Structure 1
Amino acid sequence: MNDHGHGHGHGHDQAEVLDLDAEILAEHTASIIEWLPIESPRQIVDLGCGTGAGTFALLARFPEAHITAVDASVDHLRRLREKACEQGLTDRVSTVQADLDAEWPDLGSPGLVWASASLHHMADPDRVLRQVHDTLAPGGLLAVVELAGMPRFLPDDVPESRLEQHHHDERVPHRGADWAPLLTAAGFTVEGERTVTVHIERSAAVERYAHASLRRLLDPEALHRVLQRDDIALRTERTVWAARK
């Protein structure tokens, strides 16, 4: 899932976090896609695709589908194309570089639009949802996947966890929003909503993810102290809305 999928930002560091996110949350992402009320869409758009967590999970789930991956970041799209090449999937993926706050590209008439951790970055989510509604094929599905908050790694009783919480509250105004009313206002019928609680115990990948996320908040000494803890784990919630045109 591409929490920074709008593509403004920290370049290589950000791409590393997105790749770790994809690796650690792969099972959760697959289960969310499995849950979607849709049979076998032939054309899919991954809106704010980041480095391709959703793209490759969708390709695996829908082997007949072609995916158009859209992101503002040239670097993220390049990494996605490299992965597609490594996996022999280049004929099933197209990339479109676009800042969706500025322009709306021609994306055809997809049967499924997947927007994972990308809509909360948009300056005007209502406008983007209306654009998605116009773009979808008749009866098409929009899947919105959002984190309730940024991933957290520390138990609540650790002093540094307050920094985590404060940092996450400030950053993005639409994060944690209830998207159902916005989807309805844009003309969609919300057919399903599901919240998945994520708690993944410490592993080498979780350690790398914690390091990449916490080094922006903590000084090196505090970071080292925190990373020595046995109770580091990835803690977050993801909510998915399935909305029909």
Structure 2
Amino acid sequence: MTAHRHHEDIDWEAMADQLEREAELYADFLGDAGEWLRKLRGDDPAVRRVLDVGSGPGVVSCHLARAFPDAEVVAVDQAAGLLERARQRAVEQRLAERVRTQRAELPEQFGELPKADVVWTSHAVHHIGDQQAALEGLAATLRPGGLLAVVERGLPARYLPRDIGIGRPGLQARLDAASEDGFNAMRAELPGTVATVEDWPGLLTRAGLRPAGSRTFLTEHPAPLEERARAYLHTRLARTMEQSGEQLDAEDRATVARLLDPQDPAGLLRRVDAFYLTATTVHTARAAG
């Protein structure tokens, strides 16, 4: 059986730097998505509170604070260390008066979340065994006419050419397949896991909401990448190997070892042909007004 780690075994606080680097790569998407949500939600009634559920270190929370300048933004996460990073980020960006934090263990504490006009959650629902119940818990936090925005999966990121000059061409596709198997194994081990057809508009409808539209945003950083972005990809690849590397054959594992070697001229940290390209879909739905 493939080696992988249950989500409860992951030290999210130790991943704070990586989570911040990842979110910063998506800065353009987050700005565009925030503007889209602001227009979609409208200002009648006014947006007074926004929740960022599964906020991590608060990068998205600060984007939401700028998108909704009259609202309080509540960063919600289970990791106290990440919430402290969110508070620090809000101070640095002069948003401390409008960004606050709340620690919550989900799904157990959905009922303790404050009511909000807009709720954003990104790649958090899939860490809850019953995804339909999770959406229902999020829907219950909405005020009348409130908007829920859910980001889940999307197109896998591409960051290497098909032929990288070492090993067998097509490594990225095989890494994607290994990651998908690891994701499935993770989902299977969650407490109370329920097999779900991931039709997000359909799931949102069954949560008692009215779908308000889905939109896909492109994130593109062409080669050559900045050092911080290549460092993010290096850590991402190492994590993929930790979770799902046993699914690769010996040749591919040897190729990845070279990509992860900081001294190897063909390594990811030294490659001028590394890039970052992905697409992220946001699904939205509205509570009855």
Same fold by TM-score, threshold 0.5 exceeded? yes
Paired with 1:75 and 1:236, the residues of 2 have a C-alpha distance of 28
Does the 8 Å contact 2:53/2:124 carry over to 1?
Answer: yes
Deviation of 1:211 (Å):
1.2
TM-score, normalised relative to structure 1: 0.87
Aligned residue number for residue 209 of structure 2: 188
Aligned residue number for residue 208 of structure 1: 231
1:11-160 counterparts in 2 under 5 A? 11-36=12-37, 37-40=40-43, 41-158=47-164, 159=168, 160=171
Q: CA RMSD in A?
A: 2.4
The reply on whether 1:244 has 2:286 as its aligned counterpart is: yes
Aligned residue number for residue 200 of structure 2: 179
Identical positions, percent = 33
Letter paired with 1:237: A
Letter paired with 2:106: L
3-state SS of paired residue (1:138): strand
Does the 8 Å contact 1:196/1:238 carry over to 2?
Answer: yes
Aligned residue number for residue 3 of structure 1: none
Q: Which has the larger radius of gyration?
A: 2
Does the 8 Å contact 1:150/1:168 carry over to 2?
Answer: no
Does the 8 Å contact 2:51/2:76 carry over to 1?
Answer: yes
3-state SS of paired residue (1:241): strand
Paired with 1:143 and 1:110, the residues of 2 have a C-alpha distance of 12
Paired with 2:157 and 2:17, the residues of 1 have a C-alpha distance of 15
Does the 8 Å contact 1:54/1:116 carry over to 2?
Answer: no
Deviation of 1:12 (Å):
5.0
Aligned residue number for residue 179 of structure 2: 168
Does the 8 Å contact 2:35/2:67 carry over to 1?
Answer: yes
3-state SS of paired residue (2:272): coil
3-state SS of paired residue (1:95): strand
For structure 2, which runs of at least 5 residues remain unmatched after alignment? 1-6, 188-195, 242-252
Does the 8 Å contact 2:29/2:218 carry over to 1?
Answer: no
- Count of aligned positions: 240
Deviation of 1:103 (Å):
2.5
Deviations 1:143-179 (A, max 9, x none): 1122325534223344442452133202334799431
Letter paired with 1:42: R
Does the 8 Å contact 1:145/1:238 carry over to 2?
Answer: yes
Deviation of 1:180 (Å):
1.1
